[in-house]
Amino acid sequence: MTIRVGQGFDIHPFSSDPGRPLVLGGVRVDGPGLEGHSDADVVCHAVADALLGAAGLGDVGLLFPATDERWQGADSMALLALAYEQVAAKWRAVNVDCTIIAEAPPLAAFREQVEARLSAALGAPVSVKAKRGEGLGALGRQEGIACLAVALIERV
Ligand SMILES: [Zn+2]
């Protein structure tokens, strides 16, 4: 069995637009929205990067450039599906593990929903952990949300 591992990271600042929804791993979460060209779903972007990285297929920015109007306000679950479609030509996800770093809002109530949504999208177990920034740096000052992800893939 040939296996490979990839890592992903993403970060977005909170939006100044109070009407912008917060979407994490395809789940609408109570809290201020994030700024970005797409729906700014940091979890989807980090997971997609981890999968693409594992397969050696570049990254989300390369596949869906911010200069391309097609991705304006895009649903990042759709972007993740498109990215995984490329990976899935030769690989299948074994598992993905994510850590969302957010001082606020509290994410405990949404964690399992995000896991279920992403696991269903990839057909593989996705685990999600939530950490706080402990007051340190930009994340600790509640200026945005970041996500780390690792993906293990195996040759189909
Ligand atoms: Zn992003």
The pLDDT tens digits of the residues spanning 42-100 come to 999 999 999 999 999 999 999 998 888 988 889 999 999 999 999 999 999 999 999 99
Number of domains in the chain: 1
Q: How many angstroms separate the alpha carbon of residue 156 from the centre of ligand 1?
A: 28
| Average confidence (pLDDT) over 147-151 | 98
Amino acid 72: pLDDT: 87
Range of the domain at 82: 3-155
The pLDDT tens digits of the residues spanning 110-123 come to 999 999 999 999 99
Q: How many angstroms separate the alpha carbon of residue 36 from the centre of ligand 1?
A: 7
Instruction: Please give the full DSSP string across 26-72, using - where no structure is assigned.
Output: TEEESS--B-SSS---HHHHHHHHHHHHHHT---HHHHS-TT-GGGT
Q: 69 vs 39, 54, 65, 66, 143, CA distance in Å?
A: 13, 27, 9, 7, 26
Q: How many angstroms separate the alpha carbon of residue 45 from the centre of ligand 1?
A: 5
Q: How many angstroms separate the alpha carbon of residue 1 from the centre of ligand 1?
A: 32
The CATH number assigned to the domain holding 44 equals 3.30.1330.50
Full-model pTM: 0.97
Of how many residues is the chain composed? Answer: 156
Q: How many angstroms separate the alpha carbon of residue 41 from the centre of ligand 1?
A: 6
